[in-house]
Structures are given as C-alpha cells and as structure tokens.
Amino acid sequence: MAQDLLKLSKVTFRYPDNPWKLDQCSLSLKAGEIKAIIGPNGSGKSTLLKLAAHVIKPGSGTIFLDGREITTISNRQRARVLGYLPQHVQTHLDYTVGEVVSMGRFARLRGAGFLDAGDLAIVEKCLEQTRTSHLKDRSFSNLSGGERQRVVLASVLAQEPRVLLLDEPTSAMDMHHEVSFFHLLTGLVREGMAVGVVTHDLNIASVFAHALTLMHDGVIVEEGPPKQIITAKVLREAYGPGIEVVEHPTMDTPMVFPSPKESMGSRENS
C-alpha cells in the first residue's frame, strides 16, 4: 500500500465575515496517484487546496505532510516537498519565463544563494517537460493564458516536489495542451509523485485520474474511482440537471456530455 504523502484529517475552515464553511474534510494523496478534486463553483475546492498547501490554516483538524504535522515544518522545507499552483496567478510579473521558472529553485538553493549548473539544468528540464523552452526569453506578462499556466507548472516542478497541488491548471489550455499536461502528470506520478488536481474537466479527470473527490457545499460528498463518481445520478445530485453520462468509445471509463434538455435526461446510467 503506497504511503500517504499528504493527509488532511477532519479539517474545518471558515473565512472571516462569511457564514460558509468547509466542514470536516478528510483527504489523502498517495505516491503514484492522481486525485482529481471536482465539484460545482463555490463548493470549496480551492479552499481545500489552500488548506492542504498551508496557505491558510484550519480552524480544526490536522494536516500531515510526508508523515509530519504540517505546522512543524518550515516554509523552506515544505517547499521542497510540496508544490502548489493556485487558481489565480499574478499575471503582471515583470520577469522573463526563464526567471519565473528559476524562482522555483529558490527553496533548494544552498550557500551563496546562486543557481549553479545543476540548478540551471533542472530549470531547462522543467521548461522542456512543459514545452515552454521556446518561450524562455519572453516576458511572462505577455504570454497567453495557456502558455502562462505551462510556465507556472514548470516553476513549481523546478522545486522538485513530491506532492503537487494544482488548482484548475489547464483552465485556459486548448485540448492538445491539456492532454499533454495530463500525460506529463501521469509520468510524474509513475516516478513516485502524488498529485491533487482541481478541474472542471470531468472527462479529463475520468481518463487520467485514479480517484475523484467530489465536493459540494463545503463537504466531500463522495470519493472513488471514475466509474463510481462519473455517473448521471452522482453528478446531477451535486451539479444539477443537464448532464448525460456514456462510455468512452475506446476505454472502459465514463464520459460526460451536456444534455440538450434541462430535465433529468434520457439515460440514467446508474
């Protein structure tokens, strides 16, 4: 049984001046696993990821990173284990792409704090992995949304984390780049990484994720393999009507389609 690299246990959180709460959420990410976190707008996906990344602190509950309580780990040490890509990244950074990716090495620097040949080689590798080498000298702020998302992933990968938390990392990507991105994640988890990724693309989640965590109104309502979560019944309960589920034409996995009717649709599919 693979080890839990990240474990949230009964985590509860409230924003100041907002009655909404994230309630008793438990989540674990294992080495070798892509877990997709799905759910309607405002269900708490980004809040859960921010808690997991220690960007915000829970009101109650505990979070363990690589077997240690996350509050006992220094920021620098945490950045060597955990890479977090937030939903909204600052876009007006006055840096080149190469510089943005190099910043990912900061948590790893020793001695005088300069990037050595080994660091630069890792930066190059991360640019190649995310197919952004040709953008290296471009200004980050002038990139398209999808290019920017690939560069930010390169920067997070340059940390060489063992746990990756990605919040809608492909929301601005065309289908080819989105599929490439998830192929890259598949390769990374095969090498032992643990990935938690928030996405609204249920079909991508169904094809690439080992498990799906479905959130609704601040709680985790269900978790399991794609076949258990991507059903018309489960999805309509969380998202509402307008969703049809069928089989992928060449894979043994469910696919989601929009229903032309507002009503419950023709195919119950469990």
Interface with Mg ion (CB under 5 A): 46, 87
Q: Considering beta carbons, is residue 46 or 253 the nearer one to Mg ion?
A: 46
Smallest distance, Å, CB 146 to Mg ion?
18
Smallest distance, Å, CB 70 to ligand ADP?
19
Question: Which residues in 25-84 contact ligand ADP (CB under 6 A)?
Answer: 39, 41-47
Q: Considering beta carbons, is residue 193 or 238 the nearer one to ligand ADP?
A: 238
Q: Considering beta carbons, is residue 103 or 221 the nearer one to ligand ADP?
A: 221
Smallest distance, Å, CB 39 to ligand ADP?
6
Q: Beta partners for 36?
A: 197, 212
Smallest distance, Å, CB 197 to Mg ion?
12
Contacts of 119 (CB under 8 A, 6+ apart): 102, 105, 108, 109
In whole angstroms, give the CA distance from residue 145 to residue 171: 9
Question: Which residues in 9-28 contact ligand ADP (CB under 6 A)?
Answer: 15, 18, 20
Smallest distance, Å, CB 126 to ligand ADP?
26
- The secondary structure of 167-226 as a DSSP string is ESTTTT--HHHHHHHHHHHHHHHHTT-EEEEE-S-HHHHHHH-SEEEEEETTEEEEEE-H
Q: Give 96's DSSP letter.
A: B
169-170-171-172 Cα dihedral, nearest 10 degrees? 120
Both tokens of residue 75?
């920021």
Q: Are 58 and 51 in contact (CB under 8 A)?
A: yes
Q: Considering beta carbons, is residue 99 or 223 the nearer one to ligand ADP?
A: 223
Task: Please report, as ranges, the residues that interact with ligand ADP according to CB under 6 A.
Answer: 15, 18, 20, 39, 41-47
